[in-house]
Chain A
Amino acid sequence: MIELQLLALLAMPLTGGIVLAVFGARRWAAELNSVMSGCTFAASVLLSIAVIDSGPQTAFNEQFFIDQFNVFLVALTAFVAFTTSLFSRPYMRIEQHHGKLSTSMLHLYYSMYQLFTFTMLVALTTNNMGIIWVAMEAATLTTVLLVSLYRTPASLEAAWKYFILCGVGIALALFGTILLYFAAERVIGDGGTALLWTHLNEVKGSLEPTVLKLAFVFLLVGYGTKIGLVPLHSWLPDAHAEGPTPVSAVLSGLLLNVALCAVMRSKVLVDGSLGNHFAGNLMMGFGLLSVVVAALFLSRQKDIKRMFAYSSIEHMGLITFAFGMGGKVATFAALLHMSMHSLTKSAIFFAVGHAVQKSGTQQMDRIRGLMQVSPTVGWGLMLGTLAILGMPPFGVFASEFLIITTAMHEYPWTTPFLLISLGIAFAAIFGRVQPMVFGQANVKPLPHTPALMPVFIHLLLVLILGLYMPAYLANWYRQAAALLS
């Protein structure tokens, strides 16, 4: 039985959100935020253990469904949300000290942070394709006010763009969900069960292919807006650059994954109904386009957070491409890359956040010599950059290597595009980061000690997984990959 663990997992962030909505202005709000996120993470570990031991199961009248695939994302989400809350405690205090944030803004931030975690966990664990939509929309709603937290003209513009674009995107996903329901109703009959994924999965062979084909196009375009797939990505760099850094870290590391999870759930159904590679081809196309376009844009950025936002688009494109190829190896690699990207990218954003605070600007040509003044931030940024660029021995290398070798084997024509894009990204990011880390110092010390533990915990995990993968974990990934392919 997993009901207890699931209840704890969902109740923790929801209670946290409500309690912090009342007490968010107190001095201990930051600590409470971390404690609640810590408890959520503990619940997710218990849930993972239960599911890995006893296999996929439903809970609460079939309204929730947990298998190895989504429990893996649940654990990842809860973990990164926890470490981000640890990072945000000193980070937000420094912002307050610099006069960028008021107490009431922090109040909003803490409450919304917990509710955002809650919506993501609901989207991951629910069995109902309609509730996935509701939770995804709620995730936008909880973060949109966080993107505009600083109330600067640029941040308002970014938040408006984020709201409108994701609102439109997610509306298209709703149309896709309605079409899916339309097809399911004819097979399952009406009533509450025709949107439950487990029921749909049982009858996927008899769902009407023409309807499902159209439904998948809408679902992919809709949730793809959230993943940040080109050409629907234009909200992403703005929202990442203008929002507070902890929000950039969770948007980039977590929300994009959750949207991808929704797409994968739909893909399994469509594949079963169509029996061909239609969904996979679409995903490969969008993925490849994202990788190429993001790499080209990446090399022209001047703002450090924008640059890493484009890097997120590139990596999400790569993951979508790998899922699109399908097959056990590619899916395994995509899952691995999802976790490596989440850990590495959030670590980078943590380091970037403190680097920006030290130099007082996000313009890369004005950040210099981090290593001289604070070696920990400097090393964190350098190692994180090397990891995300796919340098061995970090884990990103392993997953990218797997994806590219599979692509060479099955779709050789895609290899030059992938390799050239990764090369451009490497030259652009490394060329920019190197003078920021080394070079002559112009940065100043901070009023509070930054929390850099999360950066090194994340990077250590990525390093360990790059060198050696425990059998337990490898087995977990393999089971999840088997469920999807």
Chain B
Amino acid sequence: MQIPLILQFVNLLASLLLLVVFAMLAQRRILSLINLFAWQGGILALSTFVVAYSTAQHHLYYSAGLTLILKVLLLPWLLHRLIRKLNVRWDVETLINIPTTMLVGIGLVIFSFNLAAPISQLSEGITRGLIGIALASVLLSLLMMLTRRKAVSQVVAFLSLENSLFFAATSATQGMPLVVEFGIALDVLVATFIFGIFFFQIRETFESLDITHMEKLKDD
């Protein structure tokens, strides 16, 4: 079956998104991690824009603009400022066993494609396969949250999770109602601010942003 060029382009962007999540999973340096996050936001904004153009859904233009402002400019800028203030700009994280993490990641991708297979059958044209990719990115971001030990990279993983969900919403369903998207964007923004407050509180108390210090509360 011949797929229209524009849909091929959306599919290309989707696979790029997945690639970026894998790159984030293996990235040790906090600065590069934030830059990758900005790239992810850029891909997301572009794919939303393309979907908006191809389906003539006008409200998707707004959400593409919102993504561009929030995920590509504002949040990375805030994070850059934060790591400069916290003096963790050049921090390198010791990740154990990157190859194993990657293999688990590939397993997750296969799992999500299987899980999404019956749904992909239902959708016509544009959304085929995209739900699988979105679900895979969600699960990979979750994996990233599990493997990280620094507070800042956990937050980037959290934001990448949010990005993957946004991708699912715009590409697979042609955009949630605008009021919902605004609400979600507001929540993400407020969450980032609160995370920022937390970084300072955590460092003041533990003198480090390593969350391994924060594993005291346990049931004996």
Does chain B have a CB within 8 A of A192?
Answer: yes
Which of B165, B201, B206, B220 contacts A175, CB < 8 Å?
B165
Which of B168, B175, B202 contacts A156, CB < 8 Å?
B202
Does chain B have a CB within 8 A of A410?
Answer: no
Contact B161 A128 (CB under 8 A): no
Which of A158, A172, A195, A211 contacts B180, CB < 8 Å?
A195
- The answer to whether residues A168 and B119 also contact, given A163-B198, A178-B173 and a CB cut-off of 8 A, is no
Does chain B have a CB within 8 A of A208?
Answer: yes
In Å, the complex CA distance between A195 and B119 comes to 19
Interface size bracket, B side:
35 or more
In Å, the complex CA distance between A137 and B220 comes to 31
Contact B142 A156 (CB under 8 A): no
Contact B205 A211 (CB under 8 A): no
In Å, the complex CA distance between A133 and B188 comes to 12
A128 cross-chain contacts in B, Cβ below 8 A: 177, 179-180
Does chain A have a CB within 8 A of B183?
Answer: yes
A177 cross-chain contacts in B, Cβ below 8 A: 176
B168 cross-chain contacts in A, Cβ below 8 A: 175, 178
Question: B176-192: which residues lie under 8 A (CB-CB) from chain A?
Answer: 176-180, 183-184, 186-187, 190-191
Contact B173 A211 (CB under 8 A): no
Contact A138 B187 (CB under 8 A): yes
Interface size bracket, A side:
35 or more
Contact A134 B180 (CB under 8 A): yes
Does chain A have a CB within 8 A of B78?
Answer: no
A195 cross-chain contacts in B, Cβ below 8 A: 176-177, 180
Does chain A have a CB within 8 A of B169?
Answer: yes
In Å, the complex CA distance between A190 and B138 comes to 24
Does chain B have a CB within 8 A of A182?
Answer: yes
Contact A131 B201 (CB under 8 A): no
- Quick one: which of A130, A138, A210 has the most chain B CB within 10 A? A130
B177 cross-chain contacts in A, Cβ below 8 A: 128, 130, 191-192, 194-195
In Å, the complex CA distance between A174 and B168 comes to 10
In Å, the complex CA distance between A133 and B181 comes to 11
Contact B216 A153 (CB under 8 A): yes
A163 cross-chain contacts in B, Cβ below 8 A: 191, 194-195, 198
B161 cross-chain contacts in A, Cβ below 8 A: 168, 171
Binds B, one of A143-151, A270-278, A341-349: A143-151
Question: A153-175: which residues lie under 8 A (CB-CB) from chain B?
Answer: 153-154, 156-161, 163-164, 167-168, 171-172, 174-175
A306 cross-chain contacts in B, Cβ below 8 A: 219
Contact residues of A: prevailing secondary structure: helix
Does chain A have a CB within 8 A of B25?
Answer: no
A156 cross-chain contacts in B, Cβ below 8 A: 198, 201-202, 205-206, 214
Contact residues of B: prevailing secondary structure: helix
Contact A134 B165 (CB under 8 A): no
Does chain A have a CB within 8 A of B57?
Answer: yes
A179 to chain B, nearest CB (A): 7
Contact A157 B154 (CB under 8 A): no
Contact B216 A141 (CB under 8 A): no
Complex: chain A residue closest to B181, CB-CB: A130
Question: A390-408: which residues lie under 8 A (CB-CB) from chain B?
Answer: none
In Å, the complex CA distance between A230 and B103 comes to 28
Does chain A have a CB within 8 A of B158?
Answer: yes
B2 to chain A, nearest CB (A): 24
B190 cross-chain contacts in A, Cβ below 8 A: 138, 141
Does chain B have a CB within 8 A of A186?
Answer: yes
Does chain A have a CB within 8 A of B174?
Answer: yes
Residues 34-76 of chain A: 1 if any B CB is under 8 Å from the residue's CB, otherwise 0? 0000000000000000000000000000000000000000000
Contact B179 A192 (CB under 8 A): yes
Contact A178 B191 (CB under 8 A): no
Contact B138 A175 (CB under 8 A): yes
A186 cross-chain contacts in B, Cβ below 8 A: 122
In Å, the complex CA distance between A457 and B100 comes to 58
In Å, the complex CA distance between A237 and B217 comes to 9
Contact B173 A182 (CB under 8 A): yes
A153 cross-chain contacts in B, Cβ below 8 A: 205-206, 214, 216
Does chain B have a CB within 8 A of A301?
Answer: yes
In Å, the complex CA distance between A300 and B220 comes to 7
B85 to chain A, nearest CB (A): 18
In Å, the complex CA distance between A268 and B118 comes to 23
- The answer to whether residues A134 and B183 also contact, given A153-B206, A159-B198, A297-B219 and a CB cut-off of 8 A, is yes
Contact B198 A178 (CB under 8 A): no
Which of B119, B191, B216 contacts A179, CB < 8 Å?
B119
In Å, the complex CA distance between A158 and B118 comes to 40
A167 cross-chain contacts in B, Cβ below 8 A: 158, 191
Can you show 25 pairs from A to B with CB atoms below 8 A apart? A130-B180, A131-B179, A133-B184, A137-B187, A141-B190, A141-B191, A141-B194, A145-B194, A148-B198, A151-B205, A152-B205, A153-B214, A156-B214, A157-B216, A164-B145, A168-B142, A171-B165, A174-B165, A175-B135, A178-B169, A178-B173, A181-B173, A182-B119, A191-B177, A211-B122
With A148-B198, A151-B205, A174-B165 known, 16 other A-B pairs at CB within 8 A are: A128-B180, A130-B180, A138-B190, A144-B194, A153-B206, A154-B217, A156-B202, A157-B216, A158-B217, A163-B191, A168-B145, A168-B161, A182-B123, A210-B122, A238-B217, A301-B219
| Chain A interface residues toward B at CB < 8 A | 128, 130-131, 133-134, 137-138, 141, 144-145, 148, 151-154, 156-161, 163-164, 167-168, 171-172, 174-175, 177-179, 181-182, 185-186, 190-192, 194-195, 208, 210-211, 214, 237-238, 241-242, 297, 300-302, 306
Query: Can you list the 9 inter-chain pairs with the closest CB atoms, starting with the nearest?
Result: A130-B180, A134-B183, A157-B214, A137-B187, A192-B177, A182-B173, A210-B118, A238-B217, A178-B169
